[in-house]
Amino acid sequence: DAGVIQSPRHEVTEMGQEVTLRCKPISGHNSLFWYRQTMMRGLELLIYFNNNVPIDDSGMPEDRFSAKMPNASFSTLKIQPSEPRDSAVYFCASTPGGPITDTQYFGPGTRLTVL
Amino acid sequence: AQSVTQLGSHVSVSEGALVLLRCNYSSSVPPYLFWYVQYPNQGLQLLLKYTSAATLVKGINGFEAEFKKSETSFHLTKPSAHMSDAAEYFCAVRPPGKSTFGDGTTLTVKP
């Protein structure tokens, strides 16, 4: 199995630009999570989907952030416009079944730098 | 609401020594508890999880953790540290749905 795939692995952009992060969960997994990791705030859950439906987006920091999951094999996290404080590593994770007890499988992350 | 506290942001042990990483949780409902390991420039990998079955949970790489409800703890241990155990370790609590992660503990293993 290829595992959770994220692209790009690294992104450097300038303040004000739109950034789109992509995630392909493990085939057959029903739940998908987006996390942000920074030194200051640690790991933060931004949003999670179950069966392609957003269940809880209360962790999304502000309206500049949006996430979609148009089908079971693809999700995007978009930041528009980006700001330097958005610089972080963004992880995507998926679980085989429900979001509560199942093991989360993490992707390698996208390291975002906003200049 | 649930939360997790990891005591000690950095732990250093000698190779072959006992590893003990501490995690305390608070949860208004019976928790599901997890330990993850993160190696540099990689995503998190599950070490073990507690989901209300046996209180002593064995994971990969020789790690285990014991759920103690009276102490609201889920400490991670390994009898003998190996150099390859050097990484950052995260404790997490769920439900409901959300994952709440601790701030992480960086484990250094000295030769």
Residues 6+ apart with CB under 8 A from A83: A15, A64, A114
Q: What string of pLDDT tens digits covers the 111 residues of chain B?
A: 678 899 999 999 999 999 999 999 987 777 788 999 999 888 889 899 888 778 899 999 999 999 998 999 999 999 999 999 999 999 988 754 566 788 899 999 999
Residue A97 DSSP class: S
Q: Which single residue is written with the structure tokens 């509560």?
A: A100
Measured CA to CA, the distance from residue A69 to residue B78 in angstroms comes to 39
How far A84 CA sits from the closest chain B CA (Å)? 21
Nearest to A112 by CA among A88, A79, A92: A88
pLDDT bracket for residue A101 (50, 70, 90): low
How far B79 CA sits from the closest chain A CA (Å)? 25
* A21-72 pLDDT, tens digit each: 999 999 999 899 999 999 888 888 899 999 999 988 888 988 999 999 999 9
Note the pLDDT of residue A56: 86
Six-digit token string for B17: 């020594």
Note the pLDDT of residue B98: 61
The side-by-side arrangement of strands in the sheet containing B64-68 is: B3-7, B19-26, B73-78, B64-68, B56-58
Residues 6+ apart with CB under 8 A from B79: B18, B62
Interface contact flag, B100 A45, Cβ < 8 Å: yes
Indicate whether A6 pLDDT > 80.
Answer: yes
Chain A residues lying within 8 Å of B100, measured CB to CB: 45
DSSP helix/strand/coil, B2: coil
Does A25 contact B at CB distance below 8 Å? no
Chain B residues lying within 8 Å of A42, measured CB to CB: 101-104
Q: What burial class does residue B99 get, using C-beta atoms within 10 Å of its C-beta: 0-12 exposed, 13-18 middle, 19+ buried? A: buried
**Bridging pattern class, strands A31-38 and A42-50:** antiparallel
Note the pLDDT of residue A62: 85
Chain A residue with minimum CA distance to B94 = A100
Measured CA to CA, the distance from residue A6 to residue A21 in angstroms comes to 8
Residue B84: phi and psi, rounded to 5, are: -70, -10
Greater pLDDT, B45 or A102: B45
Pick from A42, A100, A103: which is nearest to B101 by CB?
Answer: A42
Q: What burial class does residue A99 get, using C-beta atoms within 10 Å of its C-beta: 0-12 exposed, 13-18 middle, 19+ buried? A: buried
Does A59 contact B at CB distance below 8 Å? yes
Does B30 contact A at CB distance below 8 Å? no
Interface contact flag, A43 B98, Cβ < 8 Å: no
Measured CA to CA, the distance from residue A105 to residue A71 in angstroms comes to 18
A vs B: CB pairs below 8 A: 55
Chain B residue with minimum CA distance to A98 = B97
